[in-house]
Structure 1
């Protein structure tokens, strides 16, 4: 994978965490142009990107992430940032939530979970920080696109949007894994998401959830 972070100590820390987790880091970058060039050259499975990269330290890293998703459709991109800004997350996601992650630096405390998020994104899944997902939601309203779902199904879908596995959803909602699986199947049916040999039905459901709540 490729890591873009201008803070050298933080970058080295992220690289150390990833390598200790059994993942290979093929390139490190301290600026947006360098990140773009190295990632396009090495074509890793995943790029881990900070938003505020030089030269402008605005949203340069985010723009590189979006460009990488455009030019390398198969690459996974994880934005690791201090900005809990839904607009940034939506710009990154665009029209497809597969292979994308948006995680807050302050919440990446569990090394195992962090590495698992990276691997999930590399395999076409999504990993979205719950704080950002919560800010995407419009309070006290149920979007028309999700009105066919039961309250429990909406809760399961919200947890899916946070990047939780079925086992994680079961723990957070205090239900069995088998019950979660039934709810997920029902969500696919109610949202009319067809069978997908590539296994991206979950990603499609998450994308519909996010776009519906953006209204």
Structure 2
């Protein structure tokens, strides 16, 4: 993997923590400019990068992520941010949520959570910070298909947006696996998602959730 973070202390700390967990870090950098070249050279499974990087410290990370996903679609991207920046995240996720993640920097302190998120993103899954999901939920309009969901269905969809499996959702909500499957089917129906493969509909449901349907 590659780590891109402009704070040298934080970058080196992340690299050390990940290496202690057995994660191979093939390269690191302090700005977005060299990233494409580094990805082309090392072909990592995943790139961990900050959203705000030099020179303007605005959306360099988002633009770099888009460029990486365009040039190297098999490479996962996990964005880090100090603050919840839902607009930029939704715009990036709307392109293709597979192999894409967004965590707040405070999660870096939990190396198990960070390493787990990197592995899931590298495997093509979507990982969205629970606080980001909660902020999106709070900002969402009551109109549209999402308004038809029950409170429990919204709980299930929120956990789906965090990248949880049905088994993990069942454990989190303390309900049976069959009940989760029923809620998921109801979500697909209410969001007007057709009979495509389960994985495809799951991605589309999460995108509908993140966009506010």
> Scaled by the length of structure 1, what TM-score is found?
0.86
Counterpart for residue 43 of structure 1? 43
Aligned CA RMSD, in angstroms, stands at 2.3
Distance across 2 between alignment mates of 1:82 and 1:182: 37
**1:54 aligns to 2:59 (yes or no):** no
Q: Determine if contact 1:4/1:28 at 8 Å carries over to the other structure.
A: yes
**1:10 aligns to 2:10 (yes or no):** yes
Deviations 1:67-126 (A, max 9, x none): 112222222110011021101211221322111101001133322222111111111111
Counterpart for residue 64 of structure 1? 64
Question: Shift in Å at residue 158 of structure 1?
Answer: 1.0
Counterpart for residue 146 of structure 2? 146
Q: Determine if contact 1:4/1:32 at 8 Å carries over to the other structure.
A: yes
Q: Determine if contact 2:107/2:114 at 8 Å carries over to the other structure.
A: no
Question: Shift in Å at residue 178 of structure 1?
Answer: 4.1
Counterpart for residue 107 of structure 1? 107
Counterpart for residue 96 of structure 2? 96
Counterpart for residue 194 of structure 1? 195
Q: Determine if contact 1:77/1:121 at 8 Å carries over to the other structure.
A: yes
Counterpart for residue 22 of structure 1? 22
Distance across 1 between alignment mates of 2:206 and 2:169: 14
**1:205 aligns to 2:194 (yes or no):** no
Q: Determine if contact 1:193/1:205 at 8 Å carries over to the other structure.
A: no
- Residues 16 and 72 (structure 1), Cα distance of their counterparts in 2 relative to 1, 3 Å cut: same
Question: Shift in Å at residue 168 of structure 1?
Answer: 3.6
Distance across 2 between alignment mates of 1:47 and 1:110: 18
Distance across 2 between alignment mates of 1:62 and 1:141: 25
Aligned residues: 212
Deviations 1:26-46 (A, max 9, x none): 111111112232123322111
Q: Residue 77 of structure 1 aligns to a residue in which SS? A: strand
Distance across 1 between alignment mates of 2:150 and 2:70: 35
Distance across 2 between alignment mates of 1:106 and 1:135: 16
Please say which of residues 26-35 and 175-184 is displaced more in the overlay: 175-184
Counterpart for residue 135 of structure 1? 135
Q: Structure 1: state its 5+ residue gaps.
A: none
Q: Determine if contact 2:14/2:108 at 8 Å carries over to the other structure.
A: no
